[in-house]
Structure 1
């Protein structure tokens, strides 16, 4: 006897499987985001990559999360811009880290002459042959 195929049932099964995989990836992304926030205060930069990886999983698999992310990005572009640079295909990790260090220094050292990193960068540029 030949086995009869039911294309409608196959389509429903593949749709249910794809939906289940999508929900599992969203759950895994949320776990990675929470783990990244928990690990972030510890020494070392392990919290940021975990958070970015989790955010990538959630944003690729959840339409509602994408809409909320875009809405938040339009409302607060200065906050989201470094995160968007890390979410690109070829992330500019060092540039984002340097910019965040400069912003942190600017936050704590209000006087323009007391900012160390800015002077350090200028002195390196003067010595550089390029």
Structure 2
């Protein structure tokens, strides 16, 4: 009986090491996949429409969920530049409010680029509120 116990313990240690190695390989593969998706999003970004941004966010989600170093750097970047990174963090939540976030981003872009008398998004909001 005592001869069986050490072999079982050794087998358990080998199984744990194998599972650990397999987990690391899967995480590494997912990080590589995330980078490839981000590159695809960058390639699609010049096309008309918002096609590149959601693809980049999906790649970023895959990387941040599987890489501890990337998550740590992302948190540091968020502490350094919270106004820039907060929309991305809002998209990375479990239940993202995509329409509300895109509306707020459209308001910010419009405020930055368009003169006051030509702003369309703000006018549309005012019309919507009046109809209620």
Partner secondary structure for residue 30 of structure 1: helix
Instruction: Give me the TM-score of the superposition, normalised by structure 1.
Output: 0.87
**Correspondence for 1:27 among 27, 32, 44:** 32
The count of aligned residue pairs is 125
Q: Which has the larger radius of gyration?
A: 2
**1:17 match:** 22
Instruction: Give me the TM-score of the superposition, normalised by structure 2.
Output: 0.86
Matches of 1:79 and 1:40, distance apart in 2: 19
| Post-superposition CA distance 1:11-53 (Å, at most 9, x none) | 1111111110010000001111111121112123322221111
Counterparts of residues 55-66 of structure 1 (less than 5 Å)? 55-66=60-71
Counterparts of residues 96-115 of structure 1 (less than 5 Å)? 96-109=101-114, 111-115=115-119
Structure 2, gaps ≥5 residues long: 1-6
Matches of 1:45 and 1:92, distance apart in 2: 16
Q: CA RMSD in A?
A: 1.7
Matches of 1:8 and 1:114, distance apart in 2: 68
